[in-house]
Amino acid sequence: MRQSMDLDERMGQSTDVDERIGQSMRVDERMGQSMGVDERMGQSMGVDERIGQSMGVDERMGQSMGVDERMGQYMGVDEWMGQSMGVDERMGQSMGVDERIGQSMRVDERMGQSMGVDERMGQSMGVDERIGQSMGVDERMGQSMDVDEKIGQSMGVNERGNLWMWMKGWGNLWVWMRGWGNS
HSE (CB half, 13 Å, CA atoms) of 34?
6
Same structural domain for residues 70 and 1? yes
Same structural domain for residues 6 and 72? yes
Amino acid identity of residue 23, one-letter, is Q
The pLDDT tens digits of the residues spanning 67-76 come to 434 333 333 4
The model's confidence at residue 178, banded by pLDDT at 50, 70 and 90, is low
Q: Is 18 contained in some domain?
A: yes
The pLDDT tens digits of the residues spanning 142-159 come to 333 344 444 434 434 444
Give CA separation, 94 vs 46, 55, 103, 140, 157, in Å.
25, 26, 6, 22, 14
Q: Which H, E and C letters describe 120-136, residue by residue?
A: HHHCCCCCCCCCCCCCC
CB 135 within 8 A of CB 126: yes
Q: Is 161 contained in some domain?
A: no
Is 78's pLDDT higher than 50?
A: no
Mean pLDDT, rounded, of the chain: 41
Q: Is 153 contained in some domain?
A: no
Report CA Rg, the chain.
16
Give CA separation, 137 vs 56, 157, 175, in Å.
19, 13, 23
Is 132's pLDDT higher than 50?
A: no
CB 128 within 8 A of CB 118: no
Same structural domain for residues 10 and 58? yes
Same structural domain for residues 107 and 62? no
Same structural domain for residues 7 and 65? yes
Amino acid identity of residue 26, one-letter, is R
CB 83 within 8 A of CB 76: no
Rounded CA separation 109/86 (Å) = 13
pLDDT above 90 covers what percent of the chain?
A: 0
The model's confidence at residue 7, banded by pLDDT at 50, 70 and 90, is very low
Average confidence (pLDDT) over 159-168: 46
Is 182's pLDDT higher than 50?
A: yes
Q: Is 119 contained in some domain?
A: yes
Give CA separation, 62 vs 5, 29, 71, in Å.
7, 28, 11
Total domains, the chain: 2
Task: List, in order, residues 6 or more apart from 120 with CB less than 8 Å away.
Answer: 100, 110, 130
What domain range includes position 123? 103-138
Is 175's pLDDT higher than 50?
A: yes
The pLDDT tens digits of the residues spanning 112-131 come to 333 344 333 433 334 433 44
The pLDDT tens digits of the residues spanning 19-69 come to 334 444 344 333 434 434 433 343 343 443 343 344 444 333 443 334 434
